[in-house]
Amino acid sequence: MVRGRISRLSVRDVRFPTSLGGHGADAMVSADAMVSADAMVSADAMVSADAMVSADAMVSADAMHTDPDYSAAYVVIETDAEDGIKGCGITFTLGKGTEVVVCAVNALAHHVLNKDLKDIVGDFRGFYRQLTSDGQLRWIGPEKGVVHLATAAVLNAVWDLWAKQEGKPVWKLLVDMDPRMLVSCIDFRYITDVLTEEDALEILQKGQIGKKEREKQMLAQGYPAYTTSCAWLGYSDDTLKQLCAQALKDGWTRFKVKVGADLQDDMRRCQIIRDMIGPEKTLMMDANQRWDVPEAVEWMSKLAKFKPLWIEEPTSPDDILGHATISKALVPLGIGIATGEQCHNRVIFKQLLQAKALQFLQIDSCRLGSVNENLSVLLMAKKFEIPVCPHAGGVGLCELVQHLIIFDYISVSASLENRVCEYVDHLHEHFKYPVMIQRASYMPPKDPGYSTEMKEESVKKHQYPDGEVWKKLLPAQEN
């Protein structure tokens, strides 16, 4: 089925001015104003683009990333096949630095150009290794940071192209793929002490049992989601209450609150939310790497009374042993550890599992080396029986990761117990095939591809620094 030789790769720096604050009149929309501006968390409706911009201005503050402009390095690959199909890939960034990732994509491009798609997917492990182990480029990684984010963007585009050519959404391409073919996409280097090719095959073969029923179930009910849109830092208590009330009305049953800047403030906000949602619904907490290890234990011991399901990113994403220590202290208090959105490769996830350092594993569709590396992490999680609860939000992360988690349920984990996928309701309107949330669940995408394709008009408008949006904003910022 696959066809064509990659004839062109373009990459663009696309930024949404979600930080706004202080950059012009539009930015002055307050959180409270936002609530009345129809930008409410809504499980069914797509809100208008204008309202979204206002919402985004307030949506994104956590203790470590105080002023993000949600952005993406956006890759498009074209082939010489005459079907006109393009592969689109993104990696998510926070504004500044997107140009660095763009530069890294260009550094990788020669590995992709003039390759037959058939040869790429026919030896996807080899192709992955070629990108990640370039004898010169690997020094500036290896498999981490900028160069790995760039690898993700490129490979996400390849997966989008492959799935589009097959006429299937990526989750379905994966579900229908022969286990041996799936395994041939994975680079097992540095993880064979935990997961060999044979282990992987065995897991996938077991996953074939009951697969059809689970696929039907997903198509009917979707994959359960939770919302992070209610309780970012910096919201007034009134905003918090209003957003929470609306989310409850929209059918959400799981809520995440940002913590870590100020203990007293956290106590008050957690009390408000727990009061609003009642004792039965699920509350998660997210510290965005704010603490050192002893501080994390101390702080969370005080927040334990609000019965959080997990504390997310309590400390440095690199600190495997630190997470293990925190986990050992908090699990007896009923609090699990969740981490992963900034874990830079499968080697880190391997160790988090080995060290019993997490109870919830949060994959990210753009930080790891695309579907290929995420497959290895899903399989390791299955081996350790740790539930995968993906990170999403930002721009495009929901669109991509839904494919991975739906595949995980149908073909790998076969369980929804303790599993839930993050959802944040913004910037979906810029995508050609935006996520569809129904009854607080991700409904499996039906369009071919990886849901990565952005609307050309959105890309053009938000290109940095020459798009219309930035041409207006940048002079204002300079004043």
259 contacts its own copies (rule: CB under 8 A): no
Interacting positions 398-457 with its own copies (CB under 8 A): none
339 contacts its own copies (rule: CB under 8 A): no
Residue from the set 10, 221, 354, 418 that interacts with its own copies by CB under 8 A: 354
Work out how close the CB of 96 gets to its own copies at its nearest, in angstroms, rounded to a whole number.
Answer: 4
Work out how close the CB of 346 gets to its own copies at its nearest, in angstroms, rounded to a whole number.
Answer: 9
Work out how close the CB of 325 gets to its own copies at its nearest, in angstroms, rounded to a whole number.
Answer: 7
Residue 286's DSSP bridge partners are: 258, 312
Interacting positions 105-124 with its own copies (CB under 8 A): 107
CA pair distance 447, 427, nearest whole angstrom: 19
Binding part of the chain for its own copies, among 67-75, 117-125, 205-213, 431-439 by CB under 8 A, reads 67-75
The count of chain residues that interact with its own copies, using the rule CB under 8 A, is 64
Residue tagged active-site, from 148, 323, 344, 391: 391
Binding part of the chain for its own copies, among 50-58, 133-141, 379-387, 468-476 by CB under 8 A, reads 133-141
Residue tagged active-site, from 258, 323, 382, 428: 258
Work out how close the CB of 183 gets to its own copies at its nearest, in angstroms, rounded to a whole number.
Answer: 16
Does residue 142 have a cis bond before it (omega within 30 degrees)?
Answer: yes
Residue type, 184: S
CA pair distance 141, 76, nearest whole angstrom: 23
The interface mask with its own copies, positions 177-216, x = CB under 8 A, is -----------xxxxxx-----------------------
C-beta closer to its own copies: residue 269 or 350:
350
228 contacts its own copies (rule: CB under 8 A): no
C-beta closer to its own copies: residue 168 or 258:
258
Work out how close the CB of 295 gets to its own copies at its nearest, in angstroms, rounded to a whole number.
Answer: 8
137 contacts its own copies (rule: CB under 8 A): yes
Residue from the set 184, 217, 316, 418 that interacts with its own copies by CB under 8 A: 316
Residue from the set 81, 272, 304, 347 that interacts with its own copies by CB under 8 A: 347
CA pair distance 90, 421, nearest whole angstrom: 19
100 contacts its own copies (rule: CB under 8 A): yes
Binding part of the chain for its own copies, among 41-49, 114-122, 332-340, 345-353 by CB under 8 A, reads 345-353
Work out how close the CB of 69 gets to its own copies at its nearest, in angstroms, rounded to a whole number.
Answer: 7
318 contacts its own copies (rule: CB under 8 A): yes
C-beta closer to its own copies: residue 125 or 144:
144
Work out how close the CB of 81 gets to its own copies at its nearest, in angstroms, rounded to a whole number.
Answer: 28
Contacts of 318 (CB under 8 A, 6+ apart): 344, 348
Work out how close the CB of 476 gets to its own copies at its nearest, in angstroms, rounded to a whole number.
Answer: 18
140 contacts its own copies (rule: CB under 8 A): yes
CA pair distance 40, 61, nearest whole angstrom: 17
Residue from the set 4, 89, 141, 390 that interacts with its own copies by CB under 8 A: 141
292 contacts its own copies (rule: CB under 8 A): yes
138 contacts its own copies (rule: CB under 8 A): yes
Residue from the set 54, 151, 227, 315 that interacts with its own copies by CB under 8 A: 315
368 contacts its own copies (rule: CB under 8 A): no
CA pair distance 146, 398, nearest whole angstrom: 21
Work out how close the CB of 129 gets to its own copies at its nearest, in angstroms, rounded to a whole number.
Answer: 11
In 3D space, the residue among 14, 15, 8, 365 whose CA is nearest the CA of residue 161 turns out to be 8
64 contacts its own copies (rule: CB under 8 A): yes
Binding part of the chain for its own copies, among 41-49, 99-107, 204-212, 426-434 by CB under 8 A, reads 99-107
391 carries an active-site annotation: yes
**Three-state helix/strand/coil letters over the chain:** CCCCEEEEEEEEEEECCCCCCCCCHHHHCCHHHHHCCCCCCCCCCCCCHHHHHHHHHHHCCCCCCCCCCCEEEEEEEEECCCCCCEEEEEEEECCCCHHHHHHHHHHHHHHCCCCEHHHHHHCHHHHHHHHHCCCCHHHHCCCCHHHHHHHHHHHHHHHHHHHHHHCCEHHHHHHHCCHHHHHCCCCCCCCCCCCCHHHHHHHHHHCCCCHHHHHHHHHHHCEEEEEEEEECCCCCHHHHHHHHHHHHHCCCCEEEEECCCCHHHHHHHHHHHHHHHCCCCEEEEECCCCCCHHHHHHHHHHHHHHCEEEEECCCCCCCHHHHHHHHHHHHHHCCEEEECCCCCCHHHHHHHHHCCCCCEECCCCCCCCHHHHHHHHHHHHHHHCCCECCCCCCCCHHHHHHHHHHHHHHHHHCCCCCCCEEECCCCHHHECCCCCEECCEECCCCCCECCCCECHHHHHHHECCCCHHHHHHHHHHHC
Please report how many Cα atoms fall inside a 13 Å half-sphere around the Cα of residue 383, on the Cβ side: 25
148 carries an active-site annotation: no
Active site residues: 258, 391
Chain residues that interact with its own copies, rule: CB under 8 A: 64-69, 92-97, 99-101, 103-104, 107, 133-149, 188-193, 289, 292-295, 315-322, 325, 342, 344-345, 347-348, 350-351, 354-355
